[in-house]
Structure 1
Amino acid sequence: MFCDSVDGANASAICFTMIEMAKAYDLNVYKYLNFLLEKRPNARTAQKELEKLAPWNEEVQKMFARKMK
Structure 2
Amino acid sequence: MFAKSTAGAEANAIFYTIVQTAKLNNLDVFKYLKLIFEAYTRSQNLDLKAYLPWNPTVRQICGK
TM-score by length of 1: 0.80
Aligned-residue CA RMSD in angstroms?
1.7
Q: Which residue of 1 aligns with 2:6?
A: 6
Which consecutive residues of structure 1, in runs of 5 or more, have no partner in the other structure?
none
What is the rounded CA distance, in whole Å, between the counterparts of 2:10 and 2:18 in structure 1?
12
TM-score by length of 2: 0.86
Aligned-pair identity in percent equals 36
What is the rounded CA distance, in whole Å, between the counterparts of 1:9 and 1:65 in structure 2?
29
- TM-superposed CA distance for 1:20, in Å, is 0.4
In the TM superposition, what are the counterparts of 1:47-66 in structure 2 within 5 Å?
49-66=47-64
Count of residue pairs brought into register by the alignment:
61
- TM-superposed CA distance for 1:4, in Å, is 0.7
Q: Which residue of 2 aligns with 1:33?
A: 33
Task: Tell me which protein shows more helix as a share of its residues.
Answer: 2
What is the rounded CA distance, in whole Å, between the counterparts of 2:9 and 2:40 in structure 1?
19
- TM-superposed CA distance for 1:39, in Å, is 1.5
Which consecutive residues of structure 2, in runs of 5 or more, have no partner in the other structure?
none
Give the 4+ runs in structure 1 shifted more than 2 A.
Answer: none
